[in-house]
Structure 1
Amino acid sequence: MADLTLEMAQKLLATQPFSVVLGARVTAFGDGGATLELDIRPDLLQQNGFLHGGVLSYAADNALTFAGGTALGPEVLTGGFTISYLRPARGVLLRAVAKVVYAGRRQATCTCELTTIDETGAGALCALAQGTVIAVGR
């Protein structure tokens, strides 16, 4: 939607207390896609030293919904999603890049690639997600 901007998406994310706790940032928004990033911190790891799967799921959920919002507008919710963990997530940054695959009037199907970035800047795909975003209040 033409009237939604990266700045608006960033302000919306800042109203989500859990996103603030995690330190999530919307770094790209528009043209049918959205990118969410967060720093990988020790308090977000599981017992083996990998980024917790719940953090990966959070990032996929929010990135998918923001991507869906580019097609459906700002009043959207996650209708459901699945995630496949491909390898343990480790590094300094998590990047979730989501895009709209198909959008109707009230629903959008989106995909998300979750990549960790290490200290050298190299990325490793660690999870894939697919979800449905629904427009509310229409």
Structure 2
Amino acid sequence: MDAAAKTRIYSSFEAQSMMATLGAKLSEVSHGVVRIEAPILPGALQQQGFGHAGLTFSIGDSAAGYAALTSLPLGMEVVTAEIKINLIAPARGDGLIAIGKLIKPGKRLCVVTSEVFAIENGQEKLIAILQGTMVPVPV
């Protein structure tokens, strides 16, 4: 990826107030792959003390969307048309990592996936898998 394409993704991410609220950061941007990391903050817990599924979904969706955006020309953005999540383990630990991947690029639809991992005591544990469709839109 060239510098302009990466800058577009970092700038778009910085414009998301939800990601700022969650304390999320982009930690990797490469063609077809985006990694987002977020702490499990006290304000993002569910009633049993685990990270809320909304946190897991939010960073998984954003990682998948930005993975799709890596394949699109400048002047385009994406919106989520549909995305599903399988929650497979509680979000225990200090933080989450979402790794979004582009499965099939396209001009009208992009198929994407994300895996979300919880970090506890330095160990990564897969806690969710997302799959969805992103729609390219002009800026």
**CA deviation after TM superposition for structure 1 residue 106, in Å:** 2.2
Matched, 1:75 2:77: yes
Q: Name which of structure 1's ranges 108-117 and 66-75 shifts more when overlaid on structure 2.
A: 66-75
Contact kept, 8 Å, 1:35 with 1:97, in 2: the verdict is yes
Distance 1:121 1:8, change over 3 A: farther
**CA deviation after TM superposition for structure 1 residue 19, in Å:** 1.3
1:5-20 equivalence runs, <5 A? 5=6, 7-20=7-20
Partner of 1:93: 95
| Equivalent-residue separation in structure 2 for 1:51 and 1:28 (angstroms) | 22
TM-score of the superposition, structure 1-length normalised?
A: 0.91
Partner of 1:123: 124
- Aligned residue pair count: 136
**CA deviation after TM superposition for structure 1 residue 68, in Å:** 0.7
Contact kept, 8 Å, 2:22 with 2:41, in 1: the verdict is no
Determine which of 111, 114, 136 is the counterpart of 1:112: 114
Distance 1:109 1:27, change over 3 A: same
**CA deviation after TM superposition for structure 1 residue 98, in Å:** 0.8
Contact kept, 8 Å, 1:24 with 1:37, in 2: the verdict is yes
Distance 1:8 1:121, change over 3 A: farther
Contact kept, 8 Å, 2:103 with 2:112, in 1: the verdict is yes
**CA deviation after TM superposition for structure 1 residue 8, in Å:** 3.7
Partner of 1:21: 21
Matched, 1:44 2:44: yes
Q: Percent identity?
A: 32
**CA deviation after TM superposition for structure 1 residue 103, in Å:** 1.1
Partner of 2:136: 135
- Structure 2: gaps spanning 5 or more residues: none
- Structure 1: gaps spanning 5 or more residues: none
| Equivalent-residue separation in structure 1 for 2:20 and 2:103 (angstroms) | 28
Give the aligned residue type for 1:99: K
Partner of 1:58: 58
Structure 1 vs Structure 2 CA RMSD: 1.6
Distance 1:125 1:55, change over 3 A: same
**CA deviation after TM superposition for structure 1 residue 17, in Å:** 1.3
3-state SS, counterpart of residue 71 of structure 2: helix
Runs of 4+ in structure 1 displaced over 2 angstroms?
7-11
